[in-house]
Structure 1
Amino acid sequence: MTSGPDWFVPHPRPGARPDDTVILNETPDGGVAVPDEADATVALPTSSDTVIMPAPREAPAIERLEPEPPPPSSSTPRKRGKWLVTAGVVGLLAVGVGGAAAYVTAGDIPRGIEVLGLDLGALTVAEAEKALRDHVAARSAQPARVRLDGKDVTVAPDAVGLTIDVPATVQAASGEGVRFFGTKSIPPSVRVDEAKLTAALRKQVDTERVTVRRPAIAFRGVEPVTAYGEPGLDLDGTMAAERVREAWPVAGVADVPLTTRTPAMTREQVDALVTDVAKPAVAAPVTVTVGGRSFQLTPAAIAKGLVFRADTEGRLSPAIDGKRLRTAASGELRKVETAAKPATVRLQDGKPQVVPGAPGRLVDVTALAPTLLEALAGPAPRAVTGVLASAESETSVADVTELGIKEKVSTFTTYFTGGRSSPRSQNIITVAKAVDGAVVRPGATFSLNGHTGERNYAKGYKDAPVIVNGVLEPGVGGGASQFTTTLFNAAYYAGLEDVEHKPHSFYFSRYPSVIESTIFYPTLDLKFKNTTPYGILIDTATTGRSVTVTMWSTKVYDSVKTVYGPRRNVTSPPTVHRDPGPKCISSSGLPGFTQDAWRVIRKDGQEVEREKFSWRYDPEPRFVCGGAE
């Protein structure tokens, strides 16, 4: 008989089929363990059932019977039991491993992944992004600290596009492998605008320490002038960006030394660029056709607009500088362009009203640049086609409204003789029209010469008496001084700052003494500064006998008045005989004197300023044309 862990013993019972068996457990000593009756269970058999039956407690000895050997393809009861035990263990292990796998793979981010000390493990992508964004919010506003060539400097993050890319960082974290034990810290993804960072750092580098010399090509007139590159110390923008990205998120200091660099462009390459591009570019004009009209870019204008820019490696490349080209060719461009009209303020029905501007139509220099560059390399005749683009005014209705021009703050009138038809009166009217409607912004300085330019025949000015070297002579624009005096007094009584003015050499009774001004282009000017927080509108008006200047703004002062001192050091006019002729203008003469005047400004019921003006007038001679012995 063969022993084993399981016995199959025939146990006939009433109604039992021959294949029914009782399963008994073998004891260690080879006996049979009979389960307690209380623990016994009976399963009703089917044709293939095995019935588990307990043996009686006083069971007689049972003869061991050799079981029939099982078929080769079926498992023995012993092997089956082992399989059941093994399956149970494997099942338990599977449950354990499955639970462990579920633990470490929970969420989108594997467990044990940290960023800047923040545990992102088991979080979803959305949860991780929110957590990381909150975690870095404070440090993202902190400036980047850089030890630049041994000098400690800081850089504002928003000025150079320095930021932690939270989505990219979380995406990198989600791609890390599963970890059963320990933690792994991954660096954050940091973005920075390398060009802006390099520019910001260059401003703080000692220029004497930068010894690298980049090549250059410029124009002297229409002649190309070259400078060749030389090796030396320089700022490496790529290295600076890399070190700032590493140090800034952890509040470290990025060490950025200057490094020795050699320009990438050789002397031969620079010379080739001059031969192939610079010289042909200015060899002939270029005709530009826009919307059926044409204008020419002269070689001089091309030389102004064509630039050769060096990159960080020292490589030169040609480009069209639109702003410089527009300035150089402004006269030609006006043939095809319509300038934008800025919003402004005008008097309508006796009150200031904001007038909207209108867009202009300008040559699109940016669109023109590529075809122009291509044409510059070719032989004459050269022609390109351009397009017009809409250009909005730089001054909007909102800009003008903010100036606060709403009420009259000062006005002044002077009188003249001769009616509107006299040359002197015509000059007064012409300069008054040129200034009418001018707006002086807060903090701006108004220059009369700068506003009108030279007052000449081409602008409608005529010959009239002017003072030249102490004598009266005919001169173009004579009478402009009367308008200058009127404008000066209007600015004076508006409380504006006197920047530049000069009273006449002789006193004229049509002007207030001391508080008056002459003008002569370009050596004598009238300038005043708008020191108020509001804009100033200058309104001018003329009649056949007077000129009036009114300042419109928002009142700042209660009053502006003049207090005069007495005239002193009065001198009588001498008699001067001059040669008769067209340059001699006779006069009756006026006395000379010295006088002081104080401008008194009051605000909120108190005197806030008292400014002294003093002037000494020469006696105006009694000029006699001829008659001298």
Structure 2
Amino acid sequence: MFASEPSVDQAPTTVPQPAPPQDSSPSEGPVSRRRIVVVGTVAAVLIAGAAAGAWAYGGDVPRGTSVLGVDLGGMSRTDAERALTNGVGPRTSHPVAVSLAGKTFSIEPADIAMTLNVDLSVGRAIRSGNPALFGGRTVPPVIELDEAKLEAVLRGQVGPKQITMKKPGIGYAGLTPEATHPAPGKNLDVAAASAAIRQSWLTGGVAVIELVTRPPATTAEQVDGLLAGLAVPAVAAPVTVTVGDRSFTLTPKAISKGLVFRADDNGLLTPAIDGVRLHAAAAKEFAKVETPPEAAKIVLKGGKPKIVAGRPGDLVDLNLLGPALLGMLPNPGPRAVTASLTSQAAALTDTDLARLGIKEKVSTFTTYFTGGGGSPRSQNIMTIARAVDGALVLPGKTFSLNGHTGERDYDSGYQDAPVIVGGKLEPGVGGGASQFTTTLFNAAYYAGLEDVEHKPHSFYFSRYPAVIESTIFYPTLDLKFKNTTPHGIFIDTSYTNRSVTVTMWSTKVYDSVKTVLGPRRDVTSPPTVHREPGPKCITSSGLPGFTQDAWRVIRKDGKEIEREKFTWRYDPEPRFICGEKP
């Protein structure tokens, strides 16, 4: 209703006249136009607002929202996940560049289990807030990684001198525990490093990580508490361990070996029972209640390898004994704990051996020695032969003679016999072991196994094949060969009063393995050397020096498949005379 019309309850004072047309009334025209304009403007604003709202709130992801440079605004959740995967996915295999305490390197995502969680990243974008009508909004992605793996990788890149934080510790000097108090120093801040890695990956940036000054997780007061409350009473009395109707005793000395205090990289000191160390320190006591497993083995019977089945054993369950013992050690004596046995399978079962295909002789080699079986040198040959007898070399594994026998010393049963020291023959413990080494080398050589390490003698000895021989000296000279066949190798050794033999049993892979020798060349005569008489002087008649080549020829399926060259230069062995030159 217009403003000039009478109210419905007002009595007219004149005869009503027909109203003139609205567009010709001088009093109504401007007001009507103004109202039309106002109403029209409001309508336009409402329409525009509705359109803007529809635009801003269209889809699941608010308009103007991006993740890692990918615009997801206005998309449904499914479309946003697809867009983020397509836009960023190819970059997720890229390494992240790192600068750690001034050292630059890169980390592969797989090494720290780092992945982009697309689902959670889009969910974060959906919940990011109101639409950005002007400009845009960047939402950080959800990147997951394994912080323990990250810490291991980073610590592998830090020099030991860069970490200056002093870790706490407790150790035993005999039965007396001694404490090491911690102190603050430079260390990794794994949480900060993880944040820097997440921020830089997929953006092409460099994660800058600095070492920070941090206190150890365990304080000096806590170390003293562990010392007085656990380390001291732990070795004050023995502990009786009962297993069923049997028992054994852990002495304070054994306890001091098994109780350990380990500090992690953040300086957290934790007591624990090291079951392996405890068992080793009290092996004779544990044996009172245990039955050790017996591994299956191969024996030669009737000229053929036979498998003797092993059996499982019953051992004290160290995983259960450890916590029980740790809880008892703070208490005063007498102290006792109960333990149980657990079945322990043999390290090698008869089924394992059967799979190895050890069924026939694949090589054998014999060398001869003088002096009879009673000489120190012969005894050394027999001793090392016994140590290697029955050795098993699994497919893909490398056999080390030094590693198998350990140091060949007096305690191991070796005697003094001639060895080459500095180009001279002198008495030395284990002399003669090189003859067995040559015998073993040839057996492996003719079995077609890979030569990993060997060194011929500096002088030629007629009891050995030229070039195809080897010496040994612990720990600097070793004999190593690798089993490159798909079958196991069983090494059988035997000896008489004048010879030693090494035989290898497996499944034949090659038709034949033979040696082709080239002629000797560059022959040189031995000089005469006078030495001071005494226990270190050993006379010799001397031998010429020469160079010679040898080829190992391997045939398979009627064809030559390998020809390997070996070359060696022998020095002339001097004619040693014990006495002054006339």
* TM-score, normalising length: structure 1: 0.63
Q: Where does residue 122 of structure 2 map in the other structure?
A: 170
Is 1:29 the equivalent of 2:20?
yes
Residues 424-573 of structure 1: pairs in structure 2 closer than 5 A: 432=385, 434-440=387-393, 442=396, 444-447=398-401, 450-451=404-405, 467=417, 486-491=439-444, 493-494=446-447, 496=451, 499=454, 527-531=478-482, 533-534=484-485, 537-540=489-492, 542=494, 548-552=501-505, 554-555=509-510, 558-560=513-515
The alpha-carbon distance between structure 1 residues 290 and 129, as it changes in their structure 2 partners (threshold 3 A), is: farther
Q: Where does residue 423 of structure 2 map in the other structure?
A: none
Q: Where does residue 288 of structure 1 map in the other structure?
A: 241
The structural deviation recorded for 1:123 is: 4.3
CA distance in structure 1 between the partners assigned to 2:549 and 2:391 by the alignment: 25
CA distance in structure 2 between the partners assigned to 1:241 and 1:263 by the alignment: 20
The structural deviation recorded for 1:252 is: 1.8
Q: Deviations over 1:276-321 (max 9, x none)?
A: 1222223333333446554444434433333323355534222234
Matched to 2:326, the amino acid is L
CA distance in structure 2 between the partners assigned to 1:247 and 1:339 by the alignment: 55
CA distance in structure 1 between the partners assigned to 2:292 and 2:161 by the alignment: 45
The alpha-carbon distance between structure 1 residues 27 and 330, as it changes in their structure 2 partners (threshold 3 A), is: farther
CA contact (8 A) 1:116 1:188 kept: yes
The alpha-carbon distance between structure 1 residues 431 and 107, as it changes in their structure 2 partners (threshold 3 A), is: same
Q: Where does residue 275 of structure 1 map in the other structure?
A: 228
CA contact (8 A) 2:418 2:432 kept: no
For structure 1, the residue ranges without an aligned partner over 5 or more in a row are: 8-25, 32-87, 471-475, 572-589, 622-629
Q: Deviations over 1:523-569 (max 9, x none)?
A: 79994111563477243265878753223465598423567969976
Q: Where does residue 543 of structure 2 map in the other structure?
A: 594
The alpha-carbon distance between structure 1 residues 336 and 259, as it changes in their structure 2 partners (threshold 3 A), is: same
The alpha-carbon distance between structure 1 residues 498 and 239, as it changes in their structure 2 partners (threshold 3 A), is: closer
CA distance in structure 1 between the partners assigned to 2:177 and 2:166 by the alignment: 18
The alpha-carbon distance between structure 1 residues 432 and 262, as it changes in their structure 2 partners (threshold 3 A), is: closer
The structural deviation recorded for 1:374 is: 1.0
Q: Where does residue 30 of structure 2 map in the other structure?
A: none
Matched to 2:258, the amino acid is G
* Match for residue 608 of structure 1 among 558, 565, 576: 565
Q: Where does residue 21 of structure 1 map in the other structure?
A: none
Q: Where does residue 158 of structure 2 map in the other structure?
A: 205
The alpha-carbon distance between structure 1 residues 395 and 197, as it changes in their structure 2 partners (threshold 3 A), is: farther
The alpha-carbon distance between structure 1 residues 543 and 593, as it changes in their structure 2 partners (threshold 3 A), is: closer
The structural deviation recorded for 1:138 is: 2.5
- Which range moved further: 192-201 or 424-433? 424-433
- Count of paired positions: 519
Q: Deviations over 1:162-207 (max 9, x none)?
A: 3223332233233334527354321112223333323322332344
* Match for residue 184 of structure 2 among 231, 235, 246: 231
CA contact (8 A) 1:342 1:395 kept: yes
Matched to 2:515, the amino acid is V
- Partner secondary structure for residue 379 of structure 1: coil
Matched to 1:246, the amino acid is Q
The structural deviation recorded for 1:231 is: 2.9
CA distance in structure 2 between the partners assigned to 1:216 and 1:502 by the alignment: 50
* Match for residue 250 of structure 1 among 203, 217, 241: 203
CA distance in structure 2 between the partners assigned to 1:394 and 1:95 by the alignment: 82
Is 1:184 the equivalent of 2:175?
no
CA distance in structure 2 between the partners assigned to 1:543 and 1:113 by the alignment: 84
- Partner secondary structure for residue 413 of structure 1: strand
CA distance in structure 2 between the partners assigned to 1:353 and 1:95 by the alignment: 95
The alpha-carbon distance between structure 1 residues 89 and 213, as it changes in their structure 2 partners (threshold 3 A), is: same
CA distance in structure 2 between the partners assigned to 1:403 and 1:196 by the alignment: 37
Q: Deviations over 1:77-135 (max 9, x none)?
A: xxxxxxxxxxx999999999888766655554444432112233454545444443343
CA distance in structure 2 between the partners assigned to 1:111 and 1:400 by the alignment: 68
CA distance in structure 1 between the partners assigned to 2:569 and 2:459 by the alignment: 18
Q: Name which one, 1 or 2, has greater alpha-carbon Rg.
A: 1
CA contact (8 A) 2:527 2:572 kept: no
Q: Deviations over 1:587-627 (max 9, x none)?
A: xxx98442568561234475622234568498999xxxxxx
For structure 2, the residue ranges without an aligned partner over 5 or more in a row are: 9-16, 23-39, 421-428, 529-538, 554-560
Q: Where does residue 252 of structure 2 map in the other structure?
A: 299
CA distance in structure 1 between the partners assigned to 2:307 and 2:549 by the alignment: 32
Q: Deviations over 1:195-252 (max 9, x none)?
A: 3323322332344343332322223333322222223333222222222222224222
CA distance in structure 2 between the partners assigned to 1:444 and 1:469 by the alignment: 27
- Which range moved further: 141-150 or 591-600? 591-600
* Match for residue 273 of structure 2 among 314, 320, 335: 320
Is 1:221 the equivalent of 2:171?
no
CA contact (8 A) 1:217 1:226 kept: yes
CA contact (8 A) 1:557 1:601 kept: no
The alpha-carbon distance between structure 1 residues 411 and 190, as it changes in their structure 2 partners (threshold 3 A), is: same
* Match for residue 89 of structure 2 among 111, 133, 137: 137
Q: Where does residue 377 of structure 1 map in the other structure?
A: 330
RMSD over aligned Cα, in angstroms?
5.8
The alpha-carbon distance between structure 1 residues 516 and 148, as it changes in their structure 2 partners (threshold 3 A), is: closer
CA distance in structure 2 between the partners assigned to 1:549 and 1:184 by the alignment: 78
Matched to 1:446, the amino acid is S
Residues 32-431 of structure 1: pairs in structure 2 closer than 5 A: 105=57, 107-179=59-131, 181-182=133-134, 183-290=136-243, 293-311=246-264, 313-329=266-282, 332-333=285-286, 336=289, 362-389=315-342, 409-414=362-367
